[in-house]
Amino acid sequence: MTKCISDEAMAAYVDGRIDPEERRRIESHLVRCDRCIEQIAVLKRVTDSRESLAGVRIPDRVLARAEALIAERFGRRVSVLDLVVRVAEGLVSVVKTTGEVLSPDLCPVPARGRKKRGKNVFVKQRAGTADVIVEMESRGDHPTLRVFLENTETQEPLDGVRVNLKGPAGMESRFAEQGLADFGPKTAGQYRIEIEDVGEVSLEIQS
């Protein structure tokens, strides 16, 4: 049985700090070892973007194996944002999140000027070259869910991106228009938002 790659060697490989002979040895091992290729895949989030592997040119065969393994074990996309909100007395509040809670003045352009925006919740997370912003608008017991997509550098809206929402009522799909995918009012429950070529958002609405 071939000995697995040490943590030090794996870090050096990812950072590009190894000689050609050692690189060939590691890559030969990676195509045969699920454990090591999984560690590299998770470390560099290859299911988010191959561009994140900027430190070293990893061969396509290694990337393909890593992506297939992570897809099989963890689902098609890596979560880029986790969000839990609570609805009480018609208002939405953030219980916990891995993203940044924005003030209404920093909300994306399509939402600016909307009445009573101060009662809305905006949570932002960067995922590669895209900014993902989830809005929960306070509307009684069923808050309205919107997803905004922007280019991280230009802050221009990303159009034509497919966004799938999976929840208690099944699956819905939208194509972002001016960066916006509007899913309307939602009941309490667990949701998964899948954003094409970007990643996945885990959302829980509590009442």
CB-based contacts of 3, cutoff 8 Å, min separation 6: none
**Is 1 part of a structural domain of the chain?**
no
- What is the sign of the dihedral through the CA atoms of 106, 112, 117 and 121? negative
**Is 166 part of a structural domain of the chain?**
yes
Q: What is the pLDDT of residues 130-139, one digit of tens each?
A: 899 999 998 7
Mean pLDDT of 151-178: 91
* Co-location of 51 and 104 in the same domain: no
Please report which confidence band the pLDDT of residue 168 belongs to, taking 50, 70 and 90 as the band edges: very high
* Co-location of 57 and 95 in the same domain: no
Q: What is the pLDDT of residues 19-72, one digit of tens each?
A: 888 888 888 888 778 778 777 766 555 434 444 444 555 565 555 555 555 555
Q: What is the pLDDT of residues 60-95, one digit of tens each?
A: 555 555 555 555 544 445 568 899 999 988 889 999
Q: At residue 196, does pLDDT exceed 80?
A: yes
Query: Of 74, 97, 124, at which residue does a domain stop?
Result: 74
- Inter-axis angle of helices 7-15 and 34-44, to 10 degrees? 50
**DSSP collapsed to 3 states, the chain:** CCCCCCHHHHHHHHHCCCCHHHHHHHHHHHCCCHHHHHHHHHHHCCCCCHHHCCCCCCCHHHHHHHHHHHHHHHCCCCEEEEEEEEEECCEEEEEEECCEEECHHHCCHHHCCCCCHHHCEEEEEEECCEEEEEEEECCCCCCEEEEEEEECCCCCECCCCEEEEEECCEEEEEECECCEEEEEECCCEEEEEEECCCEEEEEEEEC
**Is 25 part of a structural domain of the chain?**
yes
* pTM of full prediction above 0.75: no
Mean pLDDT of 145-157: 91
* Co-location of 39 and 93 in the same domain: no
CATH number of 84's domain: 2.60.40
Number of compact structural domains in the chain: 2
Phi, psi of 19 (to 5 degrees): -80, 165
CA distance 119 to 104: 8
* Co-location of 174 and 199 in the same domain: yes
**Is 70 part of a structural domain of the chain?**
yes
Q: What is the pLDDT of residue 60?
A: 56
Phi-psi region of 43 (alpha: psi -120 to 50; beta: other; left: phi over 0): alpha
Mean pLDDT of 106-120: 55
CA distance 85 to 10: 38
Q: What is the pLDDT of residue 135?
A: 93
Output b/e per residue, 105-122; b: 16+ Cβ within 10 A.
Answer: eebbebbeeeeebeebbb
- Domain ranges, residue 62: 7-74
Mean pLDDT of 108-121: 57
Q: Which residue has the higher pLDDT, 162 or 55?
A: 162
